């Protein structure tokens, strides 16, 4: 062993000690160098065998290295145990003058707010909350829903068709009616909030991407009275106890009879104002009793079971509730818009 090799051993040992991250590793190093059979101990033992000329120098140096390593191990041992007790290490520091990071609160999109509110109301009445595919098949979006081939929604101008295998971007959340019936059978209660797409020329009232909330219930002897009772509870929870609900006939191929649901304008309480265009009523959903053909498509026997279905325009509800006059703001990604809610 030369003096040079001893120096190298010292450098290597110090380097290893520096990289230690727990007491265990440190103890292993202590054994490796300073233990009874440790590298340095072995060297010290052989110093006596060296020629006299070298003995003194090597002995001094080896002892010196031993001291340096022992004191370094001692220092790291102390620092590790303090760290374990939650203390700050010598060379770590906290800048107490640094300015505080500004608290930034995220904002829910107004559509999400209405959606969560409706999810709470419907789950309290025993409805499941489900998700459905946005990329749909022509079958579930149209055929299974009794939508005849001449229906305008089938036109290229209204629907985004996707190349291959009869796929399209769903034009409404109604395709989930049949999907859910197939999966769960009767009886059944579920709502499906979600994004829908129509090939619209966009303006303040039309957008190619918007949100609906579908709902349906299948059970024994379900009638229009059940539909009205459930949706009246929802309308009162959403707009206040003095709210009334009226149903007016409207054609949808997948319900029979079909209706438009309107609530008394929450702004003027039915007297007539700018929001309701002086009518006193606001149209907020389409609904009806599920057509027997749709029940059949879902594998449910229409002789035994009946059901109602409805579809809220979530985006429309948010526009009405918050007085938003341009639909394009919802997906604009403009933080100044979102910050208001």
Name the site residues for ligand PHE (rule: CB under 6 A): 172, 174, 252, 255, 286-288, 309-311
Beta bridge partners of 282: 263
- Kindly tell me which of 169 and 255 has the beta carbon lying closer to ligand PHE: 255
How far apart are CB 120 and ligand PHE at their closest, in Å? 21
How far apart are CB 218 and ligand PHE at their closest, in Å? 13
How far apart are CB 266 and ligand PHE at their closest, in Å? 21
Q: Decide: 216 and 190 in contact? Cβ < 8 Å.
A: yes
Classify residue 102 by its DSSP letter: P
Q: Report the 10 Å Cβ neighbour count for 224.
A: 14
- Kindly tell me which of 211 and 266 has the beta carbon lying closer to ligand PHE: 211
Among residues 202, 182, 199, 180, which one has the least CA distance to residue 191?
180
How far apart are CB 304 and ligand PHE at their closest, in Å? 21
Residues 338, 274, 201, 113: is their CA dihedral positive or negative?
positive
- Residue facing ligand PHE at closest CB distance: 311
- Kindly tell me which of 13 and 218 has the beta carbon lying closer to ligand PHE: 218
- Kindly tell me which of 10 and 170 has the beta carbon lying closer to ligand PHE: 170
How far apart are CB 288 and ligand PHE at their closest, in Å? 5
- Kindly tell me which of 10 and 291 has the beta carbon lying closer to ligand PHE: 291
| Count of alpha carbons within 13 angstroms of residue 307, beta-carbon side | 30
Q: Report the 10 Å Cβ neighbour count for 305.
A: 21
Among residues 194, 105, 81, which one has the least CA distance to residue 141?
194
- β-pairing, 281-290 vs 255-264, is antiparallel
């Amino acid at each position: 062993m030369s003096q040079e090799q001893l120096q190298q051993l010292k450098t290597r040992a110090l380097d290893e000690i520096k990289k230690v991250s727990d007491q265990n590793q440190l103890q292993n190093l202590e054994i490796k160098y300073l233990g009874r059979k440790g590298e340095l101990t072995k060297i010290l033992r052989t110093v006596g065998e060296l020629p006299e000329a070298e003995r003194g120098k090597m002995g001094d140096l080896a002892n010196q290295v031993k001291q340096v390593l022992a004191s370094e191990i001692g220092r790291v041992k102390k620092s590790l145990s303090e760290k374990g007790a939650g203390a700050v290490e010598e060379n770590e520091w906290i800048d107490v003058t640094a300015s505080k990071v500004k608290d930034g609160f995220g904002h829910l999109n107004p559509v999400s707010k209405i959606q969560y509110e409706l999810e709470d109301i419907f789950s309290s009445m025993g409805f499941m909350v489900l998700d459905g595919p946005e990329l749909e098949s022509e079958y579930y979006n149209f055929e299974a829903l009794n939508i005849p081939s001449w229906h305008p929604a089938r036109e290229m101008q209204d629907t985004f068709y996707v190349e291959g295998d009869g796929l399209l971007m769903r034009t409404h959340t109604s395709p989930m009616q049949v999907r859910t019936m197939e999966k769960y059978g009767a009886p059944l209660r579920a709502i499906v909030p979600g994004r829908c797409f129509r090939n619209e020329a966009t303006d303040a009232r039309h957008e190619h991407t918007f949100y609906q909330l579908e709902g349906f219930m299948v059970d024994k002897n379900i009638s229009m009275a059940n539909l009205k009772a459930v949706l009246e509870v929802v309308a009162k929870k959403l707009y206040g106890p003095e709210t009334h609900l009226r149903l007016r006939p409207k054609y949808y191929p997948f319900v029979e009879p079909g209706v438009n649901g309107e609530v008394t304008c929450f702004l003027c309480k039915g007297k007539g104002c700018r929001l309701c265009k002086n009518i006193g009523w606001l149209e907020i959903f389409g609904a009806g009793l599920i057509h027997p053909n749709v029940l059949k498509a879902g594998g449910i026997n229409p002789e035994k079971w009946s059901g109602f279905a409805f579809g809220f325009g979530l985006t429309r509800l948010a526009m009405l509730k918050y007085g938003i006059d341009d639909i394009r703001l919802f997906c604009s990604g403009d933080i100044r818009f979102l910050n208001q809610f």
